Chains A and B, each alone.
Chain A
């Protein structure tokens, strides 16, 4: 199963609403997670099961979708949100990641 994220990179300003999409090559119901990674750091799990926000993750982050099309939305960008975001599916004992979306400050 391949995951394709769009866009690959994105420039935005503090306070903007941002949406990142992830498309699966076949249906994966809701078996999709989202991670945030900052330079030189390990990834951090943000969302599981397409829309379940992890404990401690700010409510400005939200996820939606099912089947093949998914979105990660940040409702009002904060300075600490500038990072790279990855989607990941977990099926068939062969998890794979999207190629990543780099979110940069405009």
Chain B
């Protein structure tokens, strides 16, 4: 079955760190760019970070640059998001999303996970 499954969301204090994981199955993971997209409670969608299938190309939203690091392990079909210096405004459901087109970043997303909730609060 083609699917993405996120994990790692939790309650964390401001200034803390957290690592999210996304397990992919049912498609050639290494051939597609992958992204993290978040949604704050009651708000819209915000792209956070993306990574080419090869890992050669990485891009971040300005709001997380220097604090978040996206990585992938193609041998295990896994995507990660290391988050540090977390702020209350980082509170959101974080979705893992697959690129629609095989190859380098196309940045249109045809497969999404269910999301994992990150809450940043003291």
Contacts and interface: CB of A to CB of B under 8 A. Distances in A.
Interface residues of B, number: 22
B47 A45 contact: no
A54 B109 CA distance: 11
A100 B46 CA distance: 11
A70 interface: no
B44 A99 contact: yes
Interface residues of A, number: 20
B105 A45 contact: no
Nearest to A47: B108
A48 B100 contact: yes
Interface stretch (A12-20, A61-69, A75-83, A85-93): A85-93
Contacts of B100: 45, 48
Given A43-B45, A93-B57, A33 B108 contact: yes
B59 interface: yes
Nearest to A99: B44
A94 B59 contact: yes
B110 A45 contact: yes
A62 B57 CA distance: 33
B112 A93 contact: no
Nearest to A91: B107
B61 A94 contact: yes
Interface in B2-30: none
B53 interface: no
Contacts of A98: 44
A42 B57 contact: no
A25 interface: no
B98 to A, nearest CB: 10
Interface of A: 33, 35, 37, 42-45, 48, 54, 86, 88, 90, 93-100
25 contacts: A35-B45, A37-B45, A42-B112, A42-B113, A42-B114, A43-B37, A43-B109, A43-B112, A45-B108, A45-B109, A48-B108, A54-B110, A86-B45, A90-B106, A90-B108, A93-B57, A93-B59, A93-B107, A94-B47, A94-B61, A96-B47, A97-B44, A97-B45, A99-B44, A100-B45
